[in-house]
Chains A and B, each alone.
Chain A
Amino acid sequence: MTAVIPGAIPIPRRAWKNTSLGRFFRNPRSVFGAGLLLIFVLMGLFAPVLTPYSPSSLEFDAFMPFSAAHPLGTTALGQDILAQFLYGARLTLLVGAVAGLLATFLSVAFGLAAAYFGGWVDEAINTLINVFLVLPGLPLIIVAAAFIRGGGVWPVIVVIGFTGWAFGARVLRSQALALRERDFIAAAAVSGEGPLRIIFVEMLPNMAGLIAANFFGAALYAVLSEAGLSFIGVGDVSLVTWGTMLYWAQAKGALLQGAWWWVALPGLSIALLGTSFALLNFAVDEISNPKLGGGRLKMPRRTQAAPIAAPVAGDALLSIKELSVGYLTPTGVVRAVREVSLDVQPGELLGLAGESGCGKSTLAFAATRLLDPPGAVLGGSVRLAQHDLLALSPEELRKVRWKEFSIVFQASMSVLNPVLKIREQVYDAMQAHGVTDKAKLDARARELFDLVGIQMQYLDAYPHQLSGGMKQRVVIAIALALEPKLIVMDEPTTALDVVVQRQILQEINAVRKRLGISIIFITHDLSLLVEMSDRVAIMYAGEVVELAPAHQLYAHPAHPYTQQLMNSFPPMTGPRTRRSGIPGKPPSLSAEIVGCPFFERCTKRMPGVCDVKPLQTFTVAENQTAACFLYDPTVPSEIKDSAIRSSQTPQPEVSREPAHTIN
């Protein structure tokens, strides 16, 4: 296994870059927003240095043009516009910051209280939030401020703060509700921590990003509201803010006098200050919610597979050759699938097993070109019948999909669009591949539903009206619609109860045999696979470590990992014994793995061999291969024997020198 990923981007190793703060400083939006804000803050702070005049002195002539003494001229009242502008930044920022803080504080208090206490408290707060959300804010502020006018800047701040909290409270409430469902909060509650401690120590830190984003949103709202209020003369127009500058400019007819900059400058600055708040809001949101970010990782180009020697070995339907798949993360490439080669014969049911995170789903997704960024195929080839799947253009791929191969997802509960009728979701797969006749569509849909055992009337139901098992059957029916040559089933029954699971599996098997379809069946349930499959492939840490016919694998598992896996299932017959799991955990896939990835957990490991030699696959018996040096003919048999012997006695856990990380 080489450490070089062709075309992968070098990613800096310094740890702080991967913290939220590091990402904050690498995001162009947040840097620009923070820079803009900093400029305005400095302007306000250093106003006395930057201008010799007081913003409120009326000592100059009215409407003076630009000059060295007055770079921006003077107002109708004879104030220096530059001085007003610089000093105006102070109160404008103050209003934004304090009213933003006040609103955020209220949002957090209400949002968290509602989520934490639930019940009638939640009900009451939620109603209050809804009321404040739909009450038009500015008119309310105008009316409220009209009654408290002339009291300086603080009444304005208070009014804005008290009218601007509802939106944030709504967002924070739903986030906190989701958080409350999480295990660690429940654990804290059970262990007797008080509500205040849970809220402030357990929940708040997890919502920091959202709260920060919320603050910038509230500050934007506050600055705009203050400007609007000042502009119409409510609030205190004797103060100097950008909003009151606009008020006086308008009241004194600045535009009619041609002093357009008196209007343009404060307004533009409000807009830019608002933009900086909005950018910070957006960026913080993006950083704390990776779903919204992304799209900026550069995808490496797939290395061209070595020209496929001979037009596919044998008559395999699907041929995966040296497929490497990785996930690009800010910390480096996680190599989830490592040069895997696998064939599927026509009509064959190939089982793919391994523990969570071993790369089995990634393999299936990459091979069917469904992998989304940040996942990327790093090398290898996939050939289905006559198509080179990884080389097809999007339109060619679209045509091949579902007609040649279909896929049943792991999360079948959520693969149906909740707002479309089942009928449309059954039809559109067929319509996309040329079946457009209504009668034909209907007949086929009925046939399919009959096949998977669902009543016809559910064609006109919405997904949420179906049980989990029925949804799964619908998805399988859709997968069968065009009688593809291959169906990839990614843990299709994991979420279902055992009885339903059994029924569905039997139906799948019956249909497969009738139609001669090949199936790749992915699961972590090895005993299920042994029963159903023709052949089974065992995956570990991104590699196929053993491949054998199901009965062979069951009777004579070759790889120590397979053996230990088999050991963790109780046999159907024989005395009851204590089952053991496999101690330890798989190696990090972001690291380069020298030798066998199972080395640390293996009871039959051969130090000096397994952790040194590059991993290879060896033939164990006819049709059975294993990636294990116990079957390496070049390793002396005494080493193998002593390893097998010592596996009878318990061993302390070992670890080798940590392999250096890729990049």
Chain B
Amino acid sequence: MSYLLRKLGIFVFTLWVAATLNFILPRLVPGDPVSVMLAKYQGRLDPSAVDALKIAYGLNDLGSPVSQYFGYLGNLLRGDFGRSISLFPTPVIDVVMRALPYTLGLVGITTILSFLIGSGLGLYSGWRRGKAGADGVVPVALFLNSMPYFWFGLLLLYIFAFQLKWFPLSGALDPFPGDAYSASWWGSLLRHATLPVLTILVTSVGGWLITMRNNVISVASEDYLAFARAKGLSEGRIINRYVLRNALLPSFTAFGMSLGFVVGGSILTEIVFSYPGLGYYLFQSVTNLDYPLMQALFFFIALAVLVANLAVDLLNLILDPRIREGRA
């Protein structure tokens, strides 16, 4: 129980840090972002329109930093992230909610797939260590893991979408995909998702492979493994109940830790494929100096990673009896 409370505490605390960073960062800029933001419109908007905008954003009455801060936190709690500047007057939260399902679908499914495939290969590579095939995958995995996500995405886009025209060049759906959830709609969704999925899968699988390999190797030198072998257990049983079961635990923890990195990579992937998820809009908001949208997107990306981490912690609680007893 204390484990769970602790993890919840860190969850809330980290979320608070993310929110606070969001608050502080714009204020560190020489010349406040408000004027930077409005400078963009200066040529095009007459002063009365600027004032109207300021009022609309709540930027006219700044108050002391402390009261600003609490006002900001209060707005967050109410789910009020203000209005987007580049997509004015759409509320930021609407943009986020539109983009969220795409990112969750893309990143969620690929991350789980990549974890399973990578861990499977890592198990093989660690258990059969010393054999050419098992050791040979290591440099390959390191190379794949060192490729910039967006670069690999660009190559896929160039070859399979631009040259071969097997897949669409951008977006998540055809302009007229048919009725939502119909067969043609699903088909369109899948065709658009294939290359982004492949990009994330190929570039992230190596990391899980190396992690699992190292875990398997360290489990292989544990006394309980020697004992299991001494008992004359079959290889299948040993791998299943003694190696995999134990090596997966630290892998799960690493899974949670590395999610942030994968999400970062998926942002770049979304940008390359103009895939309308959180990352794509984050890019748009950065290019358009749309600060409210940028902050909300960062907040939600952090939230998604934190929730996933919490889920991993819960899973660990189920899988590891030592944690259940509060001893790990």
A residues near B (Cβ < 8 Å) are: 29, 32, 127, 130-131, 133-144, 146-148, 167, 220, 224-225, 227-228, 231-234, 246, 250, 255-256, 260, 263-264, 267, 270-275, 277-279, 282, 291-292, 294-296, 368, 370, 372, 397-403, 406-407, 409, 411, 414-420, 424, 428-429, 432-433, 462, 464-465, 475, 478
Is B305's CB under 8 angstroms from A134's CB? yes
Q: Which residues of B contact A130 (CB under 8 A)?
A: 10, 14
Chain A residues, Cβ within 8 Å of B325: 462, 464-465
Q: Which residue of A lies closest to B150 (CB)?
A: A231
Q: How far is the CB of A177 from chain B (nearest CB, A)?
A: 15
Q: Is the Cβ of B237 less than 8 Å from the Cβ of A432?
A: yes
In-complex Cβ contact of A256 among B162, B279, B320 (8 A): B162
Residue of B nearest to A293 (CB): B217
Please determine whether B143 and A263 come into contact, CB atoms closer than 8 angstroms.
no
**Known contacts A414-B224, A428-B237, A433-B232; A136 and B146 CB within 8 A of each other:** no
Are A400 and B232 touching (Cβ within 8 A)? yes
A431 CB → nearest B CB, Å: 8
* Chain A residues, Cβ within 8 Å of B246: 417-419
Task: Provide the bound-state CA to CA distance between A251 and B309, in Å.
Answer: 36
Query: Which chain A residues border B298 with CB–CB below 8 Å?
Result: 139-140, 142-143
A478 contacts across to B, CB distance below 8 A: 231
A167 contacts B257, C-beta separation under 8 Å: yes
25 contacts between A and B (CB under 8 A): A29-B138, A29-B139, A130-B10, A134-B256, A136-B301, A136-B305, A138-B263, A139-B297, A142-B282, A142-B298, A143-B25, A231-B148, A233-B286, A246-B154, A267-B152, A272-B143, A273-B146, A275-B146, A278-B145, A414-B223, A417-B228, A419-B320, A428-B228, A429-B233, A464-B327
* With A403-B232, A419-B321: A372-B221 Cβ-Cβ less than 8 Å: yes
Majority-rule SS of A interface residues: helix
Distance between Cα atoms of A398 and B18 in the complex (Å): 55
Most buried by A among B228, B230, B259: B230
Please give, as numbers and ranges, the residues of chain A lying within 8 Å of B245 by CB-CB distance: 417, 419-420
* Segment from B80-88, B89-97, B265-273 that makes contact with A: B265-273
A419 to B240, CA, bound (A): 12
Q: B294 an interface residue at 8 Å Cβ cutoff?
A: yes
Please tell me if the beta carbons of A228 and B264 are within 8 angstroms of each other in the complex.
yes
Query: A138 near B306 (CB under 8 angstroms)?
Result: no
A432 in contact with B242 (CB, 8 Å): no
Residues of chain B within 8 A of A255, CB atoms compared: 154, 157-158, 162
Interface pair B257/A136, CB less than 8 Å apart: no
Contact residue among B147, B217, B223 (Cβ-Cβ distance under 8 Å from A415): B223
User: Is B222 interfacial (CB 8 A cutoff)?
Assistant: yes
Contact B232 A429 (CB under 8 A): yes
Q: Could you say which residues of chain A place their CB within 8 Å of the CB of B294?
A: 143, 146
Structural contact, A401 and B232, CB atoms closer than 8 A:
yes
Residues of A within 8 A of B257 (CB): 133-134, 167
B14 with A135: CB separation less than 8 A: yes
**What chain A residues lie within 8 Å of B222 (beta carbons)?**
414
- For window 270-328 of B, CB contacts with A under 8 Å fall at 271, 279, 282-283, 286-287, 289, 294-295, 297-298, 301-302, 305-306, 309, 319-322, 325, 327
The answer to whether A402 and B231 touch across the interface, beta carbons within 8 angstroms, is yes
Cross-chain contact B306 with A432 (CB below 8 angstroms): no
Is A432's CB under 8 angstroms from B155's CB? no
- The reply to whether A144 and B25 form a contact with Cβ atoms under 8 Å apart is yes
Residue with the greatest number of chain B CB neighbours at <10 A, chosen from A139, A263, A273: A139
Decide yes or no: A260 and B148 within 8 Å by CB, A134-B256, A400-B232 being known contacts.
Answer: no
Known: A134-B256, A231-B268. Is A139-B282 also a contact (CB below 8 A)? yes
14 extra interface residue pairs, beta carbon distance < 8 Å, beyond A136-B302, A275-B143, A368-B230: A127-B10, A131-B14, A135-B17, A136-B263, A139-B264, A146-B294, A220-B146, A232-B286, A267-B147, A270-B146, A292-B214, A406-B231, A417-B241, A417-B245
Q: Which of A227, A228, A370, A464 contacts B230 (CB 8 A)?
A: A370
List, in ascending order, chain A residues with CB within 8 A of B228's CB: 417, 428
Q: B283 and A224: CB pair below 8 A?
A: no
The answer to whether A428 and B241 have CB atoms under 8 Å apart is: yes
Closest CB-CB distance, A475 to chain B, in whole Å?
8
A267 interface neighbour in B145, B148, B237, B267, Cβ under 8 Å: B148
Query: What is the CA–CA distance of A274 and B146 in the complex, to the nearest angstrom?
Result: 5
By a CB distance below 8 angstroms, the chain A residues around B129 are 294-295
Decide if the interface of chain B is mainly helix, strand, loop or mixed: helix
Instruction: State which of B26-34, B175-183, B187-195 sits at the interface with chain A.
Output: B26-34
**A256: which B residues are within 8 A, CB to CB?**
162
> Do B18 and A135 touch across chains, with their CB atoms under 8 A apart?
yes
Question: How close is B28's CB to chain A, nearest CB, in angstroms?
Answer: 6
Q: Out of B231, B259, B263, which one reaches A429, CB within 8 Å?
A: B231
- In the complex, whether B117 has a CB less than 8 A from a CB of chain A is no
Whole-angstrom distance between the alpha carbons of A416 and B135 in the complex? 29
User: For residue B320, which residue of chain A has the nearest CB?
Assistant: A419
Contact residues, B196-237 vs A (CB, 8 A): 210, 214, 217-218, 221-224, 226-234, 237
Would you call B4 an interface residue if the criterion is a C-beta within 8 Å of the partner chain's C-beta atoms? no
B63 at the interface (CB under 8 A from A): no
Residues from chain B with Cβ under 8 Å of A138 in the complex: 260-261, 263-265, 267-268
Which A residues touch B231, using CB under 8 A? 401-402, 406, 428-429, 432, 478
Q: Given A130-B14, A372-B221, A428-B231, is A418 in contact with B321 using a C-beta cutoff of 8 Å? A: yes
Provide the bound-state CA to CA distance between A282 and B145, in Å.
Answer: 13
Identity of the chain B residue whose Cβ is nearest the Cβ of A29 in the assembled complex: B139
Knowing A263-B155, A278-B145 touch, does A131 contact B17 (C-beta < 8 A)?
A: yes
- Give the nearest-CB partner of B262 in chain A: A136
Interface: B13 (CB within 8 A): yes
Q: Within 8 Å CB of B256, what residues of A?
A: 134
Question: When the two chains form the complex, which single residue of A131, A278, A294 contacts B142, counting CB atoms closer than 8 Å?
Answer: A278
Instruction: Decide yes or no whether B21 CB sits under 8 A from chain A.
Output: yes
Contact of B261 with A291 in the complex, beta carbons under 8 Å: no
Query: CA–CA, A273 to B151, complex, Å?
Result: 14
Judged by a CB distance under 8 angstroms, whether B43 is at the interface is no
Q: How far is the CA of A167 from the CA of B306 in the complex (A)?
A: 16
| Minimum-distance CB pairs A-B, first 8 | A138-B264, A274-B146, A267-B151, A401-B232, A295-B130, A136-B260, A415-B227, A278-B142
In angstroms, how far is the closest chain B Cβ from the Cβ of A382?
A: 15
- List of B residues within 8 angstroms of A419 by Cβ: 245-246, 249, 319-322
Q: Is B252 an interface residue (CB 8 A)?
A: no
Given contacts A135-B302, A278-B142, A432-B237, contact A263 B158 (CB under 8 A): yes
Contacts of A433 in B (CB 8 A): 232
Partner of B295, one of A32, A143, A227: A143
Q: Which residue of B lies closest to A128 (CB)?
A: B17
Considering only CB atoms, which chain B residue lies closest to A130 in the complex?
A: B10
Q: Which residues in B have their C-beta under 8 angstroms from that of A295?
A: 129-130, 135
- Tell me the bound Cα distance from A91 to B263 in angstroms: 26
Q: Which B87-132 residues have C-beta < 8 A from chain A?
A: 129-130
| Residue B167 interfacial (CB < 8 Å) | no
Considering the complex, give the chain B residue whose CB is closest to the CB of A420.
B241
Cα–Cα, bound, A281→B288 (Å)? 39
Q: Interface digits, B17-54 against A, CB 8 Å rule (1 contact, 0 not)?
A: 11001100110110001000000000000000000000
In the complex the two chains form, what is the Cα distance from A407 to B162 in whole Å? 64
Bound: A255/B162 CA distance, A: 9
Chain B residues, CB < 8 A from A420: 241-242, 245
Establish whether residues A432 and B267, one from each chain, have CB atoms under 8 Å apart when the complex forms. no
A407 touches B17 (CB 8 A): no
Assess whether B286 is in contact with A291, with CB atoms less than 8 Å apart: no
Per the bound structure, the CA–CA distance linking A397 and B271 in Å amounts to: 57
Please report the C-alpha to C-alpha distance between residue A277 and residue B139 in the assembled complex, in whole angstroms: 12
Contacts of A415 in B (CB 8 A): 223-224, 226-227
Min CB gap A343→B, angstroms: 22
List of A residues within 8 angstroms of B319 by Cβ:
419
CB distance from A536 to the nearest CB of B (A): 25
A142 touches B286 (CB 8 A): yes
Given contacts A231-B148, A271-B143, A415-B226, is CB(A264)–CB(B29) below 8 Å? no
- Contacting residues, chain B, for A429 (C-beta < 8 A): 231-233
